[in-house]
Amino acid sequence: MKKFRPSNTISDTGYYSKCLRGISSGCRLCVKGRKLVLFVTGLCSRRCYYCPLSDQKKNKDVIFANERPVHSDKDLLIEAKISGARGASITGGDPLAVLGRTIHYIKILKKAFGKKFHIHLYAPPELITEKKLERLYKAGLDEIRFHPNLNNEKNWKNMKPAFKMGWDAGIEIPAIPGLEEENKKLINYVNGKIKFLNINELEISDTNANRLLEKGFVPKDRISYGVLGSERTAMRIMRYCRNMPFSVHYCTAKLKDAVQLANRIKLRAENAAEKFDIIMEEGLLLRGAIYLPELKPSFSYKKEISKISKARKAAALKQLQRVRKELILKYRIPENLIKIDPEKLRIVTALPIVEQIADDIKKEGLIAASVRQYPTFDQMEVELKFL
């Protein structure tokens, strides 16, 4: 075992974050964009005022693999493959609220991608028992990250059995200004037991903004979701840990957006892009699109599409199939360069093709557009221009 050498040096990681003695195995894959984000449930044993979950997920028993809703094991495995994942981050809610589901997903991911597919899990201590931890360990979980309640020490003891198992066990907490002493108390409790401490910059989201503002927290500047004073708090905690035998990583809001998400997007673009797509430098896809007049995109397009009846959707798809065949014949478009998008009810093809035929198809009542979008399952548009 490598001998621990105390270090007073807080280092830049190169990922807009700082560390003492390196970062955890899970984090190393995460910053490369190689972690599948597996959201197993929005149900939770806690009610944290700073919870950033969206209304779509919070307190709802829903499952997502990255941006893809999971309705079957196949959905999960497809997303893991297409995103180029080499590991998974299991999160919630509280994954222990659906323990059987969580264990099932660990097993099928390990079976599909091998033992080296690194899986870490986030868990509040409230629902933890030694038996549950043993089941997670036997299923193949590689790393567990506890998120203790600083104001409820009675549940801290639930973590103890995990520190004796063969996985990497650590703590992950938000850097909340004003709670330095409470954090120090927790750190003293786990000192000598954990392998790592992750400190996250406290972030403002659409769903927690009111609660955070009520408590006096404000953004640190106009372009960041990070809370003023959070980084200073994190630095003080890191200095407090400088002579302790575990690694410490301060993860910023910028890392999550500019590194983790950006790299994940680029990797997915390589696998998700159609032959006719242009992959842009940041991983976005540039393509041409053709819409039916009654389904012309608007500000509420995504919401309108989700409300379409099965019968109307079937009719729209039938009409799109007819239009596609006509375009292939009339303009001699190779069949592999023009497809129907059943999710957004449109025809997609190479942008130069749409630009060339735009004037003609507009005369027939069709809508031509150039689209710049994410390569994710939800295909979120960044820019849409009508031609």
Which residues of the chain fall short of a pLDDT of 50?
Answer: 1-4, 6
Residue spans per domain, the chain? 11-269, 274-386
Which pLDDT score, from 0 to 100, does residue 1 have? Answer: 36
* 170/186 Cα distance (integer angstroms): 12
- Give strand pairing partners of 369: 289, 386
DSSP state of 280: P
Other C-beta atoms lying within 10 Å of the C-beta of residue 306:
8
Residue 299 has a pLDDT of: 77
In angstroms, rounded to a whole number, what is the distance separating the alpha carbons of residues 144 and 141?
7
The single-letter DSSP state of residue 207 is T
Instruction: Give pLDDT, residue 45.
Output: 87
| DSSP output for 215-274 | TT--BSSTT--BBTTHHHHHHHHHHHTTTSSSEEEEE-HHIIIIIIIHHHHHHHHHHH--
Helices (H), 280-350: 301-306, 310-331
pLDDT score of 217: 95
Three-class DSSP category at 83: coil
**pLDDT of res. 35:** 98
Yes or no: say if 220 and 230 are a contact pair by the CB < 8 Å rule: yes
Put the strands of the sheet holding 64-65 in their side by side order: 11-12, 18-20, 247-251, 196-201, 168-175, 143-146, 118-123, 87-92, 35-41, 64-65, 68-69
Q: What pLDDT is stored for residue 306 in this prediction?
A: 81
Could you read off the pLDDT of 19-46 as tens digits, one per residue? 999 999 999 999 999 999 999 999 998 9
pLDDT at position 376: 97
Domain boundaries 11-269, CATH class: alpha beta
